[in-house]
Structure formats: structure tokens, C-alpha cells
Amino acid sequence: MMGPDNGVVSGGIRMVAIHRALGIGLIGCALVVGLLAAPAVLGHESGPEFIDSFDTTLEVREGGALAVNHVIDVHPHGEEIRRGVFFELPEDVGPLTEFSATLGGEPIELEFDDGAVIVAAAEPLATHQSHRFVLRYRADAPWWRQSSGTARLRWEPVIEQFELAWRDAEVRIAWAESLGEPQWPAGGAVDGGTWTRTLRGPLHGEDADAAIERIELRAQASEIESGALRYYGTDWPWRLLLAVGILGLLGFLHTAWRAVGRDPDLGTIASRNAAPEGLSPAAARFVERMGFDETNFVAALVSLRVKQAVELTVDEDNDRLLLDKRPRPASDLSPGERAMMAALFEGEEHVEFGPGDKRAMQASSALKKTLGEEHRGRHFVTNASQRAWGIALGVMLLCFAVVAVVVQASDAITPDPWVIALGIAAAAAGLFAPLIYFELFKAPTRAGAEAKRQIAGLKRYFEDDRAPVSDARHFIALLPYAVALDCEEAWRDRFEGEDESGLDADTAEVLAWYREFQRRHEQIGAIIPIIAGATAANTAATASAGGASAGGV
């Protein structure tokens, strides 16, 4: 039988055992909690850096000015966030002033780069801990006055610029009661004179909020001081100057063209089966177009080949033109052809050239110079003084237009959209109108009009007359003119030289050369890429550029 003392002892032993069991249980729970918390702690020390919070307060003060306050908490790891962050400043609230910033309550210097602000410390931030930046600035004219009598304030949440991970953000609008009741933005919560919208960022995972849209606050424009309002202005001096400039330039160009540049009416054009009087193939094209291009040179080469002055072949493999000089009296050649021959051969008997060859360029220049000396002034005039005046007036208008657009685009308070539109139109007129009329000012003389009438008659003969041509001599004689006037295909298709038994040796040889050339290259225009220095390869380059408008520095 157990005595009283034995019961007390046994009860004490049981109590000690219970206390020990509870202690062991508490220690075990603590270990479990610690183990569960360890990944989070380790993740906090070694995980990705992020913006912990980005809170913006928009304080609308009496009169309508806007005070902006950003409170930015960052958690750097020294990779993307080393000294701080940067982001683009808002554009919808007008000019910004009175910038200041602090880090942990201590002032820091701000940097600006092409519309962005850099909020950063001078030295790298300590990693694996939070740092608070505060940025303040002011917008004196944040409101846009609308025709309905209301004023609109737009705000793009800055946090949406960041590609960095972020946790929380808030936009708060504090409203001055003296301005009357505003029309608050959609969403958010209103508490008296304060509107608040909170956002959960990507670090909340599936609970993150969708991208926030632009915030718009509206109020009666009459409640806002005029200095806080922006609106479209009316700048009549610039409007009148640009309008008069455009009309004046176009009026001068058109009047001058009607006075000196209009081509005379050629009258009824009759088909003509002979070359224009006194004009070589290259000269016929020069007079018709009142200018020079690569086809003038090609037509002169074909004319030299038809006259047996050169042997002409194309090396397809190497994309080169081969020329061999033949003995031929110089009297059979036109002045332009003689000048071209002299520049091509320079005392040699055989030459080769490819795209952009210096010798071909010199020969082309010699032909162009000789054609100009022969026919400019005699068959057409360029009206150089009218051209010069047109270019000078165009440059003046272009300069005025650039100044007007720059002045209006830099006016963030009262820009005039009509001045900007007129400025763009004036710049286009000043640039393109003189260039268009530069060509239109060229006009044929009386002799030139007659020559152009003959050229037009020959083109009609090439293109409109469908009667077959069987005379090989006639076909060969007009072939260089067909090349010069871009009628080679039509002229070639009309030739039906089946009976060539009576041909002289020269005509037969040239005809055989042309048929072989046609078989290989289809038409003589194949020479033009070599003359022009062009290549058959087309290249395309694409470039892409991108990047975040906000991030760490």
C-alpha cells in the first residue's frame, strides 16, 4: 500500500515528464518553422533584385499646379540595381521644375538623359537590404483645356515602364478643396479629397494586377488658374508668313514656267521613216529629253558599231564590255562620237571596262560635254536664272518652315497645330517644288521644236506603223535611233529580213552581230547596267532596336 509521501513523489515525477515533453515539442516546432522559413530567408539574400514599392502622390494645389512625389523602395543585389533606378519623366503634364531627391533622407544629385531622370547614389548601394529614394518635382501647367469647358490631367503610372520585378505600387491624388469637386479617374478609392489606386506587381504571382491604364482627372477649366492651363494657341504671324511663303514660291515657279518653260505645241505629228536632220542617235535623245543619261552613251556605242568603227561584245561571265577599235574615217562620225572614241581608246586598240570603270566615265563625260556644246542653247535652253531664283526661294521657305516647326514644337503651353501643319507643308514645298520645276524650266528653241517634231515622227514610225520591214540596210541604219528613243523592241519585231542574198558585207556583218547579241541578251539595253555601274544584286538590311524605358543603374 502506497503512503502519502509516495503519491506526492510520483505526482512530481509525472509533472517533470510532462514539462520535458512540452519543451521538446516546442523545440521541434521551432525547428520546423525555421526549416520552412530558411528558403525564404535564403531567397531574400540571394534571389533576384526588385523594386519593393513605388508610391506616387499627385498633389493638386490651389490654382491647379501639380506637386509630384515618388517614394521608391528598392532591394538591390548589385546586378541591375547598383546605384539606383532611372525612368522617363511624364510628358502629359507640361514643363517640369523644382527637382529634388533624397536617399535615406540625405540629398542626392539627379542626372537627366534625353527625357529620363536618373535617381541614384554616387556610390554602389549596399546589397541585400532595402533603400528608399524620394523624388520630388513640380508641374506648373499640368492641365489641358478642352473645348467642352473642362480641363484634363493625364498621368501614365511610372511603374509600368519597368521590366524589373516589383511588388507593390500606389498612385494617390490629393485634391485642393478650393478647386471644387473633380471628376475622379475610373477605379481606385475616394476618401474625401483623396483618390487612391493600389497595384500588386509580378512578385505577387497569380494575384498580380493587370497593367494599369492611363489615369485621367477632369475638372472645370473655370476653377483652374489660366497659368496652369495648356491649350492650342493661335499664332497668326507665323500662319500668315508660312501661307504667303508657300503661295509666293508656287506662284513664282508657275508664272516663270508659263513665261519661259512651256514647250510649244508640236502640232500634228506625221510618221517619219528617216533620222532627224543633223542629229546623231545620242543627240536625238539629248534633244528630246533635254538632258543626258546612260542610254545616250549606249546609243552612241551602237552607232559606232553600226558604222564599223568598233567591235562590241559583252563578257557575261565577268560583267565587262569589250571594245576593239576598227579603222574608220573620222568624218563618218558625229562630234560626240569622235570625242567619245578619243576618251575610250586614248591611243589603244583594245579596251575593257566593267561597272563604274573610270575610262567609261571619262568617255561618257566627253560625250555629254560635246552634246551640250552642240545643242544647249541651239535646240533648248535651261533658263538658269529662273532655276536659281526658284532654288533660292525654296531654301528660304525651307528655313522659315524649320524655324516655325521648332518654335511651335518647343512651346509646351500654347502650341499652334496650324503652324506646325503649315510648317511641314512649307518644308515640303520648299524642298520639292524647285526640284520639279528645275526640269520643267528647260524649254526647246524654235530649232529644237522642229527637231523634236522630227524625233516624235520617227518614234511614231517605230511604234505605230505595223508594216513589216524587210530592208536590212534600213533596219540597221535606224537601229541606233531605236535604241536611243527606247523603241528597240518595237523596231526589232517589225524586221522580217528573210532574203539577205543581196546585202553588202558590212550590213550583213552588223546584222549577224545584232542577231547574236539579241540571242544572248535579248536587247541592247543589257549594256546599260555595265555603263551605269549598277549591279544585279539586291541587298536588304533590317535593323531593330529596343530596350526598356526604365530600369536600374
Q: What is the CA radius of gyration of the chain?
A: 43
CA distances from 11 to 1, 16, 20, 23, 499 (A): 16, 9, 14, 19, 142
- pLDDT tens-digit series, residues 288-300: 999 999 999 999 9
Query: Which one of 423, 440, 457 terminates a domain?
Result: 440
Shared-domain flag, residues 340 and 457: yes
Amino acid identity at 88 = E
The continuous run of DSSP H or E covering 86 comes out as strand 84-88
pLDDT at 501: 65
pLDDT at 42: 35
Shared-domain flag, residues 151 and 226: yes
Cell of 317: 561571265
Cell of 351: 579596251
Amino acid identity at 191 = D
Contact 336, 303 (CB under 8 A): no
Nearest to 392 by CA among 443, 437, 425: 437
Query: Which one of 418, 440, 462 terminates a domain?
Result: 440
Indicate whether 166 belongs to any domain.
yes
Indicate whether 163 belongs to any domain.
yes
Give the whole-angstrom CA distance, residue 132 versus residue 75. 9
pLDDT at 31: 44
Contact 472, 507 (CB under 8 A): yes
For residue 79, how many other CB atoms are within 10 A of its CB?
10
For residue 215, how many other CB atoms are within 10 A of its CB?
22
Indicate whether 14 belongs to any domain.
no
Query: Which one of 440, 455, 481 terminates a domain?
Result: 440
Shared-domain flag, residues 92 and 211: yes
For residue 410, how many other CB atoms are within 10 A of its CB?
8
Shared-domain flag, residues 284 and 416: no
pLDDT at 341: 92
Strand, helix or coil at 27?
A: helix
For residue 362, how many other CB atoms are within 10 A of its CB?
15
Indicate whether 25 belongs to any domain.
no
Indicate whether 38 belongs to any domain.
no
| Look-up of cell digits 494575384 | 207
Shared-domain flag, residues 178 and 113: yes
Contact 357, 328 (CB under 8 A): no
Mark the ranges of the chain whose per-residue pLDDT is less than 70.
1-48, 316-318, 329-331, 498-501, 525-526, 529-549, 551-553
Q: Rounded to a whole number, what is the distance in angstroms from the first to the last CA of the chain? A: 84
pLDDT at 23: 53
Contact 483, 286 (CB under 8 A): no
Indicate whether 360 belongs to any domain.
yes
CATH number for the domain harbouring residue 117:
2.60.40.3680
Amino acid identity at 330 = A
For residue 66, how many other CB atoms are within 10 A of its CB?
24
Cell of 11: 505526482
- Containing domain of residue 431, as a range? 236-260+384-440
Shared-domain flag, residues 459 and 422: no
Shared-domain flag, residues 412 and 461: no
Shared-domain flag, residues 114 and 253: no
pTM score of the predicted model: 0.66
Shared-domain flag, residues 363 and 451: yes
pLDDT at 525: 67
Give the whole-angstrom CA distance, residue 476 versus residue 466. 18
List strands edge to edge, sheet with 150-155. 215-220, 150-155, 143-145, 229-230
Shared-domain flag, residues 185 and 283: no
Nearest to 119 by CA among 128, 127, 111: 111
pLDDT at 403: 97
Nearest to 422 by CA among 402, 395, 437: 402
Query: Could you tell me where the beta strands, DSSP code E, fall in 240-283?
Result: none
Q: What DSSP string describes 41-70?
A: HHHHHHS--EEEEEEEEEEE-TTS-EEEEE
Shared-domain flag, residues 348 and 425: no
Shared-domain flag, residues 245 and 267: no
DSSP letter, residue 271: P
Number of domains making up the chain: 3
Indicate whether 141 belongs to any domain.
yes
Query: Could you tell me where the beta strands, DSSP code E, fall in 123-230?
Result: 131-139, 143-145, 150-155, 166-175, 189-191, 194-200, 215-220, 229-230
- pLDDT tens-digit series, residues 166-202: 999 999 999 998 888 899 998 889 999 999 999 999 9
Indicate whether 378 belongs to any domain.
yes
